[in-house]
Chains A and B, each alone.
Chain A
Amino acid sequence: MTTQLLPDTDMRPAWPTRGRGEFRSFLAFARGRPGFLLGLVIVAITIFLAFFGPMVAPYPPERAIPGAGLLPPSAEHAMGTDVSGMDVFSRVISAPRIDLTIALSATVIAFVGGVFLGVVSGFYAGSRGIGRVASEAIMRGADIVQAFPVFIFALALVGFRGPGTENVIAALAFLNIPYFLRVTRGAVFQVRERPFVEAARCAGNTERGVAFAHVMPNALGPALANISPGIGFAILLSAALSFVGAGVPKPTPEWGSMISIGAPNMMTGQWWTALFPGLALGVTVLGYALVGDGIQDFMDPTKRR
């Protein structure tokens, strides 16, 4: 009833925040940063492979070649073959499809959920009424999730729902939420004390408007920086789940499970079976870390020039 006091108009800003010039300034920004460019190239390659990897692979990644087990790298098999006779190179470039799907979706879900909960719990901490209850409840929930060893919890979650890509994603996203939540909450504590927050109230924002239009954009930095380790964490944890058979089912090309398949061969001198997927995993995590750092700088207008 009282809300009618406010004019009921088109609330869109007269200017869009992100315009056409944004892409050009992004290119100009990237040009001066070789590390960021390298990261972009790596990310672009993994995304390309996620879409087309199995198509450009010289051999079908999930079919064993009879009698071709544990062949060393050669012209025919650039990275050799594994113990069951599958072409390692084909599997390495096919793996991003499943690895990226799992890691990116889990991390994005965790980022969105963690930032939202972090803003709510940070902004309303110490307030009165329902906000404070929500804030406390969120923090206790995060404490409970983080009280369990990560791997055991992931195993329990996947075991509860059964193995499968969606369940691995759900488990990893759920486990990653508290990290994004905590770093965002910390940032919100600092941002909410700054004078522009009072200015936003003077401008007529609701508390929700202050929290999400003014505080949140200024508190995203740590969470964005956490995306890259988040992706690495997700890839590694999904590899661990695959290793114990609770992740992606075996013949599917996936770096983590390839490493665990190849590990015993490494002892006996067939280093290629585990080394190449390991390298691919390392380079990919590095690439995402570099891009994460670069994007964090780009998002901060004060660092752009």
Chain B
Amino acid sequence: MMGERLLDVRDLVKHFPAGHRRFVKAVSGVSFHIEKGEALALVGESGSGKTTVGRCILRLIEPTAGTIIFRGQDVSTMEQDRLRALRPHMQMLFQEPYDSLNPRMPIGRIVEEPIRLGKDMSPRKRLERVVEVLDMVRLGSWALDKYPHQFSAGEQQRIGIARAIATEPELVVLDEPTSALDVSVRAEILDLLTDLQEQLGLSYLFISHDLTAVRRVCHRVAIMYLGKIVETGSTAEMFEQPLHPYSRALLSSVLYPDPHEQLSRFVLAGEIPSPIDLPPGCHLYGRCPWAVDACNAAYPDLEEILPGRRVACFRAREENAADTTASGSGRRPPGSF
């Protein structure tokens, strides 16, 4: 997919004060871009900083450093008035289906609000648009005067989707949109998100730890670990052959219904370290089976080691090459050629 860049995030940093002059380094230098019409997944376990990245992009929290170029404008330092004018172009779908809807507003007003505040439309036109988007999410005008608690979680999430697409945004940040839903409803919502993305040419930043969901919806994946992106690549290639040791561990933890599809388990030692005291070098040092001394000295840059595959690992090229050969010709004894 070759298009223009809609969003370009460079060296994004977010530190939260943790008292005693210490900081939680939630995001420590993240760069990525999203093209028009592209769905990028930001994957990682809890505490990896993926949600923080999403919130910084929409300026729901203030980034500590870095630039966020959206539609050619730097959002990261923009004043609130100008930012509000940009809101119709970038929207968000929240994790909590019920709690992200104001319980005292009828659905019509909830969905209308972003249009009312961001678009130049008469009340009649707005009503038409609200009904149109409610139809798009497979609800109808019957929902207009009802209140959020009168709907199921799946329906509430569709109301959230209707609100997010009401202003015809280019970018939607989806913050774990299905993690609070039942499995059956999850599939329905993912299908809806995929359809809307194709129909409307939306760009998604899909924040999730649900790898099966990511695989269904996204074109490209960026994997985060402790505030850094460790690997990016197309979804197909990434799931076929993850190159970073953390990606390997993460992807091999997915449970597939078909036992033959299961990748061999790749297990990391130990627990995720505290984001207050990060190791000086690679954040995975100490847990990684490939680690050498150099890994603890400096953090590796994201490097393109295969076409379209960028990996932040000193050892990835070597280890992956060894692996491919190994699987073809059997394991050689260490040290021999």
Binds B, one of A105-113, A202-210, A287-295: A202-210
Asked if B85 contacts A6 (CB within 8 A), the reply is: yes
Residue among A9, A198, A217 making CB contact with B121, cutoff 8 Å: A9
A195 at interface, CB cutoff 8 A: yes
A132 within 8 A of B: no
**Residues 130-173 of A contacting B (Cβ, < 8 Å):** none
Q: How far is the CB of B156 from chain A (nearest CB, A)?
A: 11
A14 with B126: CB separation less than 8 A: yes
Interface of chain A residues 1 through 60 with chain B (CB within 8 A): 2-3, 5-15, 17, 19
Contact present for B81 and A196 (CB under 8 Å)? no
Given A9-B121, A301-B147, are A203 and B163 also a contact pair (CB < 8 Å)? Answer: yes
* Cα(A15)–Cα(B123), bound, Å: 8
B120: chain A residues at CB < 8 Å are: 7-9
Interface flags, B86-111, vs A, CB<8A=1, else 0: 01100110111001111111101100
Assembly CA distance A10 to B119 (angstroms):
11
The size of the chain A interface, using a CB distance under 8 A, is: 34
The docked-state distance in angstroms from the alpha carbon of A204 to that of B114 is: 6
- Is B8 in contact with chain A by the CB < 8 A criterion? no
Kindly state the separation between the CA atoms of A242 and B108 in the bound complex, as whole angstroms: 52
Cross-chain contact B117 with A195 (CB below 8 angstroms): no
Please name all residues of chain A whose beta carbon is closer than 8 Å to the beta carbon of B147 when the two chains form the complex. 301-302
| Residue A77 lies at the interface, judged by CB distance under 8 Å to chain B | no
How far, in Å, is A88 (CB) from chain B's closest CB? 46
Known: A7-B119, A14-B108. A201 touches B60 (CB 8 A): yes
Contact: A301 with B99, CB < 8 Å?
Answer: no
B331 at the interface (CB under 8 A from A): no
Give the residues in chain B near A198, CB-CB below 8 Å.
55, 60, 92, 94, 100
B100 and A195 contacting across the interface, CB-CB below 8 Å:
yes
Of A3, A14, A218, the residue contacting B81 (CB under 8 A) is A3
CA distance A218 to B92 in the complex (A): 22
Whole-angstrom distance between the Cβ of A6 and the nearest chain B Cβ: 6
Cβ of B21 within 8 Å of any chain A Cβ, yes or no, is no
Q: Tell whether, in the assembled complex, residue A202 and residue B114 are in contact, meaning their CB atoms are under 8 Å apart.
A: yes
Chain B residue numbers with a CB within 8 Å of A194 are 99
User: How near does chain B come to A188, taking the closest CB pair, in angstroms?
Assistant: 14
Nearest chain A CB to B31 CB, angstrom units: 24
Which residues of chain A have C-beta atoms less than 8 A from B99's C-beta? 194-196
Q: Among the interface residues B55, B105, B109, B127, which one has the most CB atoms of the partner chain A within 10 A?
A: B105
Find A196's partner among B80, B88, B100, B119 (CB 8 Å cutoff).
B100
Q: Contacts A12-B123, A301-B147, A301-B149 known; A202 to B102 CB distance under 8 Å?
A: no
Q: Are B84 and A195 in contact (CB under 8 A)?
A: no
Residue of A nearest to B79 (CB): A2
**How many of B's residues come within 8 Å of A, CB to CB?**
47
A17-B109, A196-B99, A198-B94 are contacts. A203–B117 as well, Cβ < 8 Å? Answer: yes
Which residues of chain A in 63-112 are interfacial with respect to chain B, using CB atoms and an 8 Å cutoff?
A: none
Look across to chain A and name the residue whose beta carbon is closest to the beta carbon of B117. A204
Q: Tell me whether A283 is interfacial, beta carbon within 8 Å.
A: no
Minimum CB distance partner of A21 in chain B: B145
Known contacts A9-B122, A13-B112, A15-B109; is-contact A204 B84 (Cβ 8 Å)? yes
Contact bitstring B129-170, A, C-beta under 8 A = 1, else 0 = 010000000000000110101000000000010010000000
Contacts A205-B117, A217-B104, A302-B149 known; A14 to B79 CB distance under 8 Å?
no
Whole-angstrom distance between the alpha carbons of A298 and B81 in the complex? 37
Task: Give chain A interface residues in 167-213, CB to chain B under 8 Å.
Answer: 194-196, 198-207, 209
Q: Bound complex: CA of A10 vs CA of B116, how far in Å?
A: 8
CB-based contact A199/B117 at 8 Å? no
* Contacting pair A195 B95 (CB below 8 A): yes
Q: What is the bound-complex CA distance between A301 and B109, given in angstroms?
A: 15
**CA distance in complex: A302, B151 (Å):** 11
Q: Which residue of B lies closest to A303 (CB)?
A: B149
Task: Determine the distance from Cα of A7 to Cα of B88 in the docked complex, in whole angstroms.
Answer: 12
Q: Are A14 and B91 in contact (CB under 8 A)?
A: no
- Given the interface pairs A195-B100, A199-B94, A301-B104, the reply to whether A2 lies near B81 with Cβ below 8 Å is yes
**Bound Cα distance A195, B91 (Å):** 14
20 contacts between A and B (CB under 8 A): A5-B81, A8-B120, A11-B116, A15-B106, A15-B108, A194-B99, A195-B99, A195-B100, A196-B99, A198-B55, A198-B92, A200-B102, A202-B87, A202-B92, A204-B88, A205-B113, A205-B117, A218-B104, A301-B104, A302-B147
**B-binding residues in A (CB < 8 A):** 2-3, 5-15, 17, 19, 194-196, 198-207, 209, 214, 217-218, 301-302
